[in-house]
Structure 1
Amino acid sequence: MLLDVRAFLATARAGSFSGAARSIGVAPSVITKRVGRLETRVGTPLFIRSTRKLSLTAEGERLRPRLQELVGEIDLTLDGAQTAGITGQLRIKAPTTIGTLYVGPALVAFQSEHPGIAIEFVLMDRGVNPLEEGLDIALGALPQSYASVEETPLCAYRRMLVGAPAYLERNPAPVVPGDIAQHDCLAFVPIGLSWVFQSDRAQISVDVHARMTVNDSRVLIAATEAGLGLSIVPQHLVAESLEAGRLVPVMQDFPIPPLWFKAMVPRTKASRPAVAALVKHLVEWFADFPQQPTPTART
């Protein structure tokens, strides 16, 4: 029965039997058989089958989070029975840029210290619920929270509004947030087209005209340096560009509220030795980032 449940959860994540088969390492026919057995057991279809893709039925949507929790509890029990060091497999998600530049090296160092742990590292820029996606840890800075998911802040993720000198020669620099509407803007897809600024009294939200939208900060910075428009970028990625004069800060009297880069862990997995060890490692790894007072961890 456990194999059938795992096949169901893998299929729900992948959206196809073939994708689930690749993630588990078996033939698609095996996944189909296991899902069919589970559907027979519960007495109702769990997927709507079409020629294009699979989608969950209402019963499948209802069962998915609970089955994911149960599998997590089983994994936790089995991990607790292991005594010879930390072992197991971890599925981790992180945004592309920070994942490549910072999380990747952190995972390499962690796995070197714990050779008994296998890691599957996925880079994607959309926010995901780690419980629904079958992840052990989802890393990100978007202001999203999920039920039954614990959050551990890792570091402040400071951002700033910048532009190239050439662009600002052609276009007067904005003085107040409302001026942004008259400018070409380069937008980071996960943040969207509503930009938020901090004033002395409150936060101010401005809808912007996006000349370009992109989901990679390095492409965003290159486009800004080329004079295509204004953008909100992570401070740690533009320090060199600012020092070299390729970019300049804009509208510093209205700073961008910082986000928090955090580790999100399903509550059922938080006590797994491998998960707890990696979260501790990440907290220490990111301690060198510029910090503001650390918020209380959310449980």
Structure 2
Amino acid sequence: MDLLEKMATFARVVDAGSFSAAAKQLRISAAAVSRQIATLEESIGTPLLLRTTRKMTVTDAGRAYYERCVRILRDVESAQSIGREEGVTGLLTVSAPVSFGLACVVPYMGALMHEHPGLRVDLRLEDRFVDLIADAVDVALRVGREPPSSTGFIAHTLVTYERVLVASPAYLKKHGEPKTPEALGKHDALSHPAGNAQDGWLLWRDGGEVRARPNVVFRCNAPFAVRQLALEGTGIAQLPHWLVMDDLRQRTLRVVLPRWLCGSVTATALLRAEHRKNPRVRAFVDHLRAAFAKQTKNTMSHIIDTA
């Protein structure tokens, strides 16, 4: 039996989590799957999977082999697509932060896939620093992180967005609206790592900067949770404009200190240098760039107008 076929079967077993589930997906018997894995382990000389009547566990060697199998199978699929008329086909694996991915990537995936019917996307929403090689990722979206200085990677800027201070009308009615950054020291703050109020919020205006130190009453690593508490009138939050634009339009949130800048954050698409001409990667990056350019047009003037 062809080695690539056995590698594909092994990868399917790991993805499916069991021999029976993989067999069902492959439309072969569980015994046939077991024989392929046993032959593979014999040729490699080490166990890849540990099986009991109740559980299957991937060994350390199996995990390393799985990652290599995924890369090899993807490269083979990419090579096979070279002669096709429709260049944007096959599997594209993307990693993105959870909140940014839900708000700024998922809404544009339908249009991308309608434009390229042969494209399949594996979007992994995860708040961790992925290794493109070890995790078999084609594109990693990074928000507020400097790209690596290695020539082995390429970073494409997707969008640079502003952060804004926001609060609900109910909170401002009850506690009063701060007129200066220093006045924030008398207010409750809702914080997350990208807009950390624990060490103070740094604000800029007319070339000068002020570090405001509000009273942090709630902290969470998920911006969606911080936004929710802001809507409920729990305090003032510093959040990315893409997360609160609809709230500002509906006036369920208001901008606090609109003439002061909270700083911008850049989102980039990181890929391995050898993938710079990959049609799937190019289509994905170009699609997001165009969508973000349209989305952020005249954003700051809108924020000021709705303050």
- For the aligned pair, the TM-score class normalised by the smaller chain equals 0.5 to 0.7
Structure-1 separation of matches of 2:176 and 2:233: 10
Q: Which amino acid is the alignment partner of residue 127 of structure 2?
A: R
**Cα pair 1:21 1:28 within 8 Å, conserved:** no
Number of positions where the alignment pairs a residue of Structure 1 with one of Structure 2: 286
Matches within 5 A, 1:66-105: 66-83=68-85, 85-95=87-97, 98-100=100-102, 102-105=104-107
Amino acid at match of 2:240: P
Partner of 1:54: 57
> What amino acid is aligned across from residue 105 of structure 2 in structure 1?
V
Query: 241, 244, 269: which one pairs with 1:263?
Result: 269
Residue 223 of structure 1: SS of its match in structure 2?
A: helix
Does structure 1 residue 277 correspond to structure 2 residue 280? no
Preserved contact between residue 163 and residue 248 of structure 1 (Cα < 8 Å)? yes
**CA shift at 1:99, angstroms?**
4.3
Q: 1:288 aligns with which of 294, 299, 303?
A: 294
* Residue 80 (structure 1) shift: 2.0
**Contact 1:176-1:251 within 8 A present in 2 as well:** no
Deviation for aligned residue 1:235: 0.9
Deviations 1:30-89 (A, max 9, x none): 6655444333222123456686663541x4465555555444433332222334554323
Describe the superposition over 1:83-127 as per-residue Cα deviations: whole angstroms up to 9, x where unpaired.
455432334444555545553453333333333x13235362424
RMSD: 4.7
Counterpart residue number, 2:121: 120
Match of 1:183 in 2: 188
Q: Structure 1: how far apart are the matches of 2:142 and 2:20?
A: 25
Superposed CA deviations along residues 239-298 of structure 1, whole A, max 9, x for unmatched, are 34345553333466874443222333344544332332332233223222438xxxxxxx
Residue 154 (structure 1) aligns with: 158
Look up the SS of the partner of 1:119 in the other structure: strand
Cα distance in 2 between the residues matched to 1:266 and 1:68: 16
Larger RCO of the pair (alpha carbons < 8 Å, separation 6+): 1
Question: SS of 1:246's equivalent?
Answer: coil
Cα drift, residue 224 of structure 1: 0.7
Distance (Å, rounded) in 1 between the aligned partners of 2:197 and 2:45: 45
How far did 1:155 drift?
0.8
Q: Which moved more, 1:164-173 or 1:257-266?
A: 164-173
2:218 to 211, 216, 229: 211
Give the 3 Å change call, closer, same or farther, for CA 107–225 of structure 1 in structure 2.
closer
Secondary structure of the corresponding residue to residue 80 of structure 1: coil
Matching residue of 1:295: none
SS of the residue corresponding to residue 232 of structure 1 reads strand
Unpaired runs of 5+ residues, structure 1, are 292-299
Which residue in 2 is equivalent to 1:109? Answer: 111
Counterpart residue number, 1:294: none
1:191-247 deviations in whole A, cap 9, x for unaligned? 888677446699979898563637463x54332121122323221332343455533
Find the aligned partners of 1:150 and 1:177 in 2 and give their Cα distance: 43
Native 8 Å contact 1:90 1:136 kept in 2: yes
Per the alignment, do residues 199 and 191 of structure 1 end up closer, same or farther by CA in structure 2, a change over 3 Å counting? Answer: closer
* C-alpha contact (below 8 Å) 2:190/2:197 kept by paired residues: no
**2:120 is aligned with what amino acid?**
I
Distance 1:271 1:23 in 2: 36
Counterpart position of 2:302 = none
In structure 1, C-alpha distance between the alignment counterparts of 2:161 and 2:23, rounded to whole Å: 35
